[in-house]
Structure 1
Amino acid sequence: MTDFDYGPIEFYAIAFDGDRPGPAVLKAVDDLVASGTVMNLLDLVFARRSPEGEVEVLEMSDTIENDAHPALDLAGLAGEDDILALVDDLEPGRSAAILVVELLWAKAFASRLFEAGGAVIAREGVPAPIVNAFLAEYAD
């Protein structure tokens, strides 16, 4: 059996009003990581776009008070090109948290696919608000 050290990873950019996300965001991430079944937080970076349109990447210590930093397995995994691509549509005066997460539920699945000679060649995500709006509109 092939056992991967890490499962599939995903990059998320989560936008917020103002120049930094609030503590509720970190609490939500911490809750999911603490469950140990959904995801493992590999990297976390913050960025903000000035009113003039310039993007600034922020260190966690510049955004999180009281040194309550979450543990990161692969800090630095999100490179500058990744960050800039993810915040390309970020509006001036807003900030974003860039999360790199390992999908723990998919780790065993990826191992089994690899053993069977298969590989995921495409993936498309649909954001939860769109799914729920669609279901609300077309529900019986």
Structure 2
Amino acid sequence: MTTFDYGPIEFYAIAFDGDKPGPGVLQAIDDLVQAGTINVLDLVYATRSPEGELTVMELSDTTDDDGVPALDLSGLAGLDDIEALAAEVPPGSSAAILVVELLWAKAFASALYNAGGVVIAREGIPAPIVNAFLSENVE
């Protein structure tokens, strides 16, 4: 029987004004970590200047980590990943590029693998879109 060391991972780009996310964003991430839902593998800040230049700062390059979740695999997000995820960051704004392990899906992935199944595709739909659609189409 195979047991995976890590579950599936996902990359997120979380946009915000300014050069750092507010404490509420970091608290929301920490709440998920504390609940055992996710494990933060990597966290990168990407800031786009008013002129459109992208600056990337690895969390491991910062000295003030108050309120920032601990990282398991810093450096997992490569520059190509970061640039692709930050492509929609408007000038004068920033994004946190977050790589998380889906702890809830770890046992599911092992069970599928042991049963001879493999997930070959996955599509995510952001919660605001799901909720807007359902509020308009469900009576």
Does the CA-based 8 Å contact 1:61-1:67 persist in structure 2? no
Q: Does 1:11 align with 2:11?
A: yes
Query: In angstroms, what is the RMSD of aligned CA positions?
Result: 1.7
Does the CA-based 8 Å contact 1:7-1:110 persist in structure 2? yes
Structure 1: unaligned runs, 5 residues or longer: none
When residues 139 and 64 of structure 1 are mapped into structure 2, their CA distance, relative to the original with a 3 A threshold, is farther
Q: Deviation at 1:116?
A: 1.8
Q: Deviation at 1:66?
A: 5.8
Partner Cα distance (1:3, 1:74) in 2: 19
Q: When the two structures are superposed, what TM-score results if normalisation uses the length of structure 1?
A: 0.92
Partner Cα distance (2:32, 2:63) in 1: 18
Provide the residue aligned with 2:82 in structure 1. Answer: 83
Aligned residue runs from structure 1 range 27-66, under 5 A: 27-36=27-36, 38-60=37-59, 65=64
Q: Does 1:103 align with 2:69?
A: no
State the secondary structure of the residue aligned to 1:16.
Answer: strand
For 1:73, give the aligned amino acid: D
Q: Which shows bigger deviation, 61-70 or 122-131? A: 61-70
Spell out, residue by residue over 1:18-75, the C-alpha distance to the aligned partner (whole angstroms, 9 max, x if none): 2221111111100110011x11111111111001111001233777856443211101
Q: Paired residues, what number? A: 139
Structure 2: unaligned runs, 5 residues or longer: none
Q: Percent identity?
A: 72
For 1:23, give the aligned amino acid: P
When residues 118 and 19 of structure 1 are mapped into structure 2, their CA distance, relative to the original with a 3 A threshold, is same
Partner Cα distance (1:61, 1:119) in 2: 34
Partner Cα distance (2:122, 2:17) in 1: 29
